[in-house]
A and B are shown apart, each in its own frame.
Chain A
Amino acid sequence: AQKVTQAQTEISVVEKEDVTLDCVYETRDTTYYLFWYKQPPSGELVFLIRRNSFDEQNEISGRYSWNFQKSTSSFNFTITASQVVDSAVYFCARGSGGSEKLVFGKGTKLTVNP
């Protein structure tokens, strides 16, 4: 199976610290899509970003930024100046060009302490 690996199970930081969540994926496809979702304690997964395999540009959205490197099959997510409201479980996921099926990693639980 082509896996998505999030090696960090839990991360704890103090508010205003920067934090990077790692994601490494496996794929044999030329065309694929990478995603990040946030799951707060309420349980609903919230979409954060989608990136296709042909676009290696990094992206910044407010305090969030994503670093996509095909050479290392990684799609890492950085939160700058973390806030307590960022506390959640974050999931990385991969979808292939020929299928709508998303394969999720096991998630990284981020706790931001005041």
Chain B
Amino acid sequence: EAGVAQSPRYKIIEKRQSVAFWCNPISGHATLYWYQQILGQGPKLLIQFQNNGVVDDSQLPKDRFSAERLKGVDSTLKIQPAKLEDSAVYLCASSRSGANVLTFGAGSRLTVL
């Protein structure tokens, strides 16, 4: 079974610029998650999708972050404009509906200068 695919793996931008991350979950996994992991911290949930609907986006900074999951498969997370504190690894994860174990991708490391 192919894993969760993410791109790009690394991105360096200047503050106030925009960036987008892409995620392709495991085939058949209805639930998709975006987590933010700041250096020295554990992953923190940004948004959770069930198919193409949002289940939980309570911790997503909606003034600058947006995410979509068109057609219930791939997902894109966008940051515009980026701030220095957005420097982090953005992890995508997926699971079968109702499953209690998430499978994570390798992450996209963002550095904002």
Q: Do A and B come from one complex?
A: no
State the A residues within 8 Å of B (CB): none
